[in-house]
Chain A
Amino acid sequence: MISLQNVRKWLDERLDWDDLIAPLREKAVPLHRLSHWYFLGGITLFLFAIQVLTGILLLLYYRPGANEAFESVQYIMTQVQFGWLIRSIHSWSANLMIFCAFAHMFSVLFLKAYRKPRELTWVSGVILLFLVMGFGFSGYLLPWNTLAFFATKVGTDIAGQVPGIGKPIMIFLRGGEEVTGATLTRFFGFHVAVLPGLMTLLVFVHLLLVQRTGISVPPKLEIEWKANPNAKREMKFFPNFLLRELIAWYVALGVLGVLAAIFPWNLGTKADPFSSAPAGIKPEWYFLFMFQTLKLIPAKVWFIDGEVVGVLLFAAIGMLWLLLPFFESDDPSRTKRWITGLTVFALAYVAGMSLYGHLAK
């Protein structure tokens, strides 16, 4: 009879398995009162895995195209065995993944984990966040319902505001001047091929960097532990931390199950390009803070269109955000307080503006 031990021995003989997983055995996770924030990256990764799995299942039935997309999703929701569950989990998991990615980013900022030598980990993480939002934007259109259609129209219109390159970007995204079936097939391509490819590559790089540079501790603790190495407390990544991470994943799975069963993701009504946009059309919650900001900017700022100013402002902020670690001090005892202040402001702004956008008519 083949036992687990035999399989392991068989693998070890051929792949030197023990050597392969040795770094995992040696890997340690710092233990302190803020250690639970370390779970967020793992939960985001778990939700991404759920996305890949449920996405593949949806692909078996989904048909891109203005005449078929809505009907195929309707078919998945009503006729396919557990199709409703797979689609609802895919939608809820996408939202939870974006939420966790944001939470992970802010936790990294507050714990100052982006500091030297982890600048590249931060850069890869921020790009991953942009990709996740790209997933959200492209996936939102795929059911080809009214809200998705007009949200995409508004979203691509905003992209078209970038001076010079905006119009070509908009036409590239839409596959023409307007949002049509060509946009749908294009977004489908981005959603199931381009973005997953880039994401997988970057996730791999991100994890490799985490593995290479180890897990960061807050600067205060770093100084403390450097001064008194005996005070340092750690937990083995494998299996101790991983088992705890598994608990977090199971909890996430339970939450997903509850959301999918009690609040199945709504399908809406089929998009009609010839109808007028529904009143108060809004993007998904994770774009709401930007959307609401653009709405609040006056039509003209000096002689420039307000929307153009807003788009350029967000592009500049995105770029600065990406390069934030390079403004930080190398010395843990002299970390920049203004970055912490900026983080508090950014979190308050994103949360406040999102809430305002949600409540605004």
Chain B
Amino acid sequence: MHWRPNNCGRAPSEPWRKRRQAEAVLAAELLPTGTATATSVVFYFVVFLLFLAPPSYAQTKDSCLDCHSALPDPLGVSREKFGHDIHKQTGLTCSSCHGGDPTNDDPDKAMSRQAGWKGKIDRKQVPALCGRCHSDPSFMRQFNPTLRTDQLSQYETSVHGKRLANGDTKVAICTDCHSVHDLRVPSDPASTVSPLNVANTCARCHADPNHMSGYKIPTNQFAEYNKSVHFQALVVRGDMSAPTCPTCHGNHAATPPGVASVTNVCSTCHVFQAQLFDSSPHKEPFASAGLPGCVTCHGNHGIVHPTDAFIGTGSEAVCIQCHTEGDIGYTIAAKIKQQLVQLETAIGGAEQILDSAERSGMEVSDAKLDLAQAKDALIKARVTIHGFNLNRVQADIKPGLESAAKDYDAGQKALAERNYRRIGLGVSLVAIALVLVGLRMYIKQIEG
């Protein structure tokens, strides 16, 4: 038999209807008869105001909060804190999880085993307790039909879930991440698992050397992540689609991606790079050497914004981690780098001359717009390099170089036009000056 929380599914309109009925009865019993007096007018007005007043749901008796809201931590739960809890908002009470009889004012009876009181829930029992509702699609449908109900089964496949099953109670359980008594939906910015907060939530354990001692995994992931391009995108630029811990590790089924699946994880966002890598000459050797695809060159938690210095044979180039002078990979890396540098230099030159023309007041917006094509070509080439194929990179670079050359030419023409205008202005000013001198002389002549 399934356990059901108290009050779940109760129609919220019930107390309101009762209140309306009570108001009607009150009005019928106390309604003054005879001629209208000032008192009766006031009475009607009060009844009218009562009718207009927004309905407040009748408070069901909750002796748990009556006491616990006054208790200090760890037993204290303020009404305000619990008021933010999504379970409270959907009608659940303390007894929904902890059992007991909240209608009884006597603490001994309210928290008696006869009343089904469970007390503090054992950490090992928490996932199962949450799963009683959250794994039941027909029950959860009443509150949110789109909510998944596989969290518990996913959790059981996670490192956390497996370790908990083996008796390790230090690992994360539902309440560690989602909080308890003020549990909010992930879309709530104040939720501990909202995209902006979830990394901090993971870091509470994973960045704590004391907590993580004995697990033989580093504790610098959070510090590294905070330096990453993904953190910049998510927190600094506010791009809510940028990845945070669960994006790569999963949430309920949290586990480190294995060497073989790293590329698949990254490819959920970086689709083209992953496809190119899969068809590249690196795919096979990386797999043989047990090197994780993307991570080998870009790192994992501390992924910084890649620059062109990553490729080639320079001191910052990742290629030289494996390739040495004289091998084919080294030569191709150098040529690819040279292609990128060539286009970037061409774009820089065109941009400089167009900016100079624009600062001179010349209308070069068309050429500047065209320059975007060259920039697009460079962006495309930077993606194409993940195939490590020189010909494909050259095919992307060529139209970019052509476009940049055209725009540079447009900039030169604009500057030539500016000089022509200034010469024209000089000639005009000389003509105007001559006319002014002529007029002055004429005035002198006629005025004697």
Contact = CB atoms under 8 A, between A and B. Distances in A.
Q: Do A and B bind each other?
A: yes
A281 interface: no
Contacts of A210: none
A146 to B, nearest CB: 12
Interface residues of A, number: 25
Interface stretch (A161-169, A197-205, A257-265, A326-334): A257-265
Given A246-B439, A247-B436, A261-B424, A254 B363 contact: no
A209 interface: no
B363 A263 contact: no
A264 B433 CA distance: 22
A140 B84 CA distance: 52
B442 interface: yes
Nearest to A243: B443
Interface string A72-92: 001001100000110000000
A172 interface: no
Interface in B398-448: 421-422, 424-425, 428-429, 432-433, 435-436, 439-440, 442-443, 446-447
Contact of B365 (A74, A244, A246, A251): A74
B425 A261 contact: yes
B447 A240 contact: yes
B325 interface: no
B159 interface: no
A158 interface: no
Contact of B432 (A239, A253, A269): A253
A246 B446 CA distance: 15
B443 A240 contact: yes
A302 to B, nearest CB: 30
A257 B365 CA distance: 23
A246 B440 CA distance: 10
A267 B363 contact: yes
A244 B443 CA distance: 8
Contact of A258 (B429, B440, B446, B447): B429
A247 B440 contact: yes
A276 interface: no
A250 B442 contact: no
A266 interface: yes
B366 interface: yes
Nearest to A261: B425
A322 to B, nearest CB: 37
B429 A264 contact: no
B340 to A, nearest CB: 30
B422 A262 contact: yes
B171 interface: no
B361 interface: yes
B47 interface: no
A74 B443 contact: no
Given A246-B439, A251-B436, A77 B425 contact: no
A43 to B, nearest CB: 15
Contacts of B421: 84-85, 261
Contact of A74 (B363, B436, B442, B447): B363
B417 to A, nearest CB: 9
A240 B445 CA distance: 11
Nearest to A239: B446
B291 interface: no
B361 A263 contact: yes
Contact of B363 (A85, A240, A253, A264): A264
A250 B446 contact: no
20 contacts: A74-B363, A74-B365, A78-B363, A84-B363, A85-B421, A243-B442, A243-B443, A246-B439, A247-B439, A251-B436, A254-B428, A254-B429, A254-B433, A257-B425, A257-B429, A258-B425, A261-B424, A262-B425, A263-B361, A265-B361
Interface of A: 74, 77-78, 84-85, 239-240, 243-244, 246-247, 250-251, 253-254, 257-258, 261-267, 269
Interface of B: 361-363, 365-366, 421-422, 424-425, 428-429, 432-433, 435-436, 439-440, 442-443, 446-447
